Amino acid sequence: MNFVLHGHAVSTGITVGYAHLVATARLEVAHYEIAPDAIDDEIERFDRAMRAAQKDLEDLKAHIAADAPKEFAAFLDLHRMILSDSALSVVPKDLIRTRRSNAEWALVQQMERLVERFEEIEDPYLRERKADVQHAVERVLKQLMGAQTVVEPAVSEEQKLIVVAHDLSPADMILFKRHRYGGFVTDVGGVTSHTAIVARSLGIPAIVGLHHAFQTISEGELVIVDGERGLLVVNPDPVVLAEYRERQAELKAERQRLKKLKKTRSTTEDGTPIELFANIELPQDTAEVLDAGAEGVGLFRTEFMFLNRKDLPGEEEQFEAYRDVAQAMKGRPVVLRTLDVGADKAMNGGAGQHTMPNPAMGLRAIRFCLAEPQMFLTQLRAILRASHYGEVRILLPMVAHAHEIDQTLALIQQAKQQLEERDQPYDRAVQVGGMIEIPAAALALPIFMRRLQFLSIGTNDLIQYTLAIDRTDDAVAHLYDPLHPAVLTLVANTIQTATRGGMPIAVCGEMAGDLQLTRLLLGLGLRNFSMHPSQLLPIKERVLNTNLAEVQPAAQRVLRNTDPAKTRDLLAKLNS
């Protein structure tokens, strides 16, 4: 039976492939009673899933790269030990016998008991091991529920795999970067959640907020991910499939045409130069940055080096990663944002992610770094050392108070002194900038302009905090609006104030890569955009076909308008 699910498109394009279900233990599992004569079969099903999960871990360990960190093998060994323990390998079978319950429910019940015990442990390191229990159980659940762990997908155009999940964390998405999947779809999530941002960086179609995809789609079903309109077509009929194949060919031809602009200088029709930079999550992303012809890295989200692991990356590991990016960019600027964890980017495998009453407004980003000065100093030393190998700049996330800048600058000075004592070189003139992503920072801009060398507007969080909308929550996704008068006023005033004061300013949030907003931002005075590499060439084409003298008055009309429908009409005229 063919049907269509509607969600929110977060990465454009169209792909046809086969559903690959990815489950998590955070999903509620079904609970049902089994017949007395089916108990032995259910226990055998449980044992079979346990054996399959153990074999999966063995296979993963056998394929660890020779140069991979030793923690990878230790991590897999720990999960094997957890699954071998009688608390998980025996007790669930007792529950199946005594309560005649299905294997999934028995396993999750025992997992929850173990997690509760871990939460009572005072030692924070041991307490966080509950995440290992959850992840090990997830692997067994995937076997029981028919959903699989990450596999190396087929790479032919006809056999692409589409990841279907209830939810995926940004850390999950980073793991998927190693594989050539055709697309991603999830039941939950917002258009500008970090999971969506990483999906966009993969340059493949993705849809979030589908609600019932994981429950209604079977492993291996043929699906079409329409990242243009946010549609997931399941078991398409031959006519629909042919139409989408034709549209795929058109999009491929369009991408090939845009590649011709790679070496074209980015200027408006009237000759004004516009800087186009790229955002990255991992050092290996620099290949895409160079392929897109970006003028540099406008945002390196360094926190993704801290995810999918139980320890913190040391100074050497960080230094090597930052140095590799600086060297790969061959003198082009590289803006390294300091660690921004919290909210939807939790460290330690997700442990502690929801321990704060409101993670988005709690101890995250610069607040977290200042609360952990030794960890912060380690990162600052690594960044400073990398500055010897290229034009590296430091960007501070989520600044709201003058004292946060002052404390950070003091720590940077301390890090410099430590490097001088070691006789290690660094760029003594390294620039330090700040992210404007809290309304308080936008409204008190001179405070930051007096202390910093450059600014970058993080529109994702700026919209979230201005409109009081959790950008990871699809229940309020329809309220997330970059064209809201308050948002546009903050963005426009920030650009204008910085420009008048001679302060370099960029937009590095998702607004920078939104083709519908390019002319509006140019008209408001923006001259520096930073976006995902896959978005850069379409944005460049729009810049090349824009006359500033024409768009500036039109942008002011959009800014002055307060009626949502009229705002969109004015924007359509601006882009026509």
**Which tokens is 253 given?**
């031809």
Burial zone of 339 (CB within 10 Å; 0-12 exposed, 13-18 middle, 19+ buried) = buried
Check: CB of residue 173 under 8 Å from CB of residue 27. no
Q: Is residue 380 classed as helix, strand or coil in its secondary structure?
A: helix
For 359: left if phi > 0, alpha if psi spans -120 to 50, otherwise beta; the answer is: alpha
The CA angle 567-568-569, to the nearest 5 degrees, is 90
Q: Is residue 401 classed as helix, strand or coil in its secondary structure?
A: coil
- For the chain, the straight-line distance linking the first and the last C-alpha, in angstroms and rounded, comes to 40
d(CA 498, CA 457): 11
363 C-beta neighbours (distance < 10 Å), count: 14
Which residues are designated catalytic? Answer: 194, 508
- Whose structure tokens read 């019940």? 109
Strand order in the sheet with 183-186: 3-6, 231-234, 222-226, 14-22, 161-165, 183-186, 206-208, 8-11
Check: CB of residue 280 under 8 Å from CB of residue 297. yes
Burial zone of 554 (CB within 10 Å; 0-12 exposed, 13-18 middle, 19+ buried) = middle
Residues 6+ apart with CB under 8 A from 576: none
What Å distances lie between residue 260 and 253, 329, 445, CA to CA? 12, 21, 39
Strands 183-186 and 206-208: parallel
Residues 6+ apart with CB under 8 A from 97: 39, 43
To the nearest 10 degrees (0 to 180), the angle between helices 548-560 and 564-575 is 170
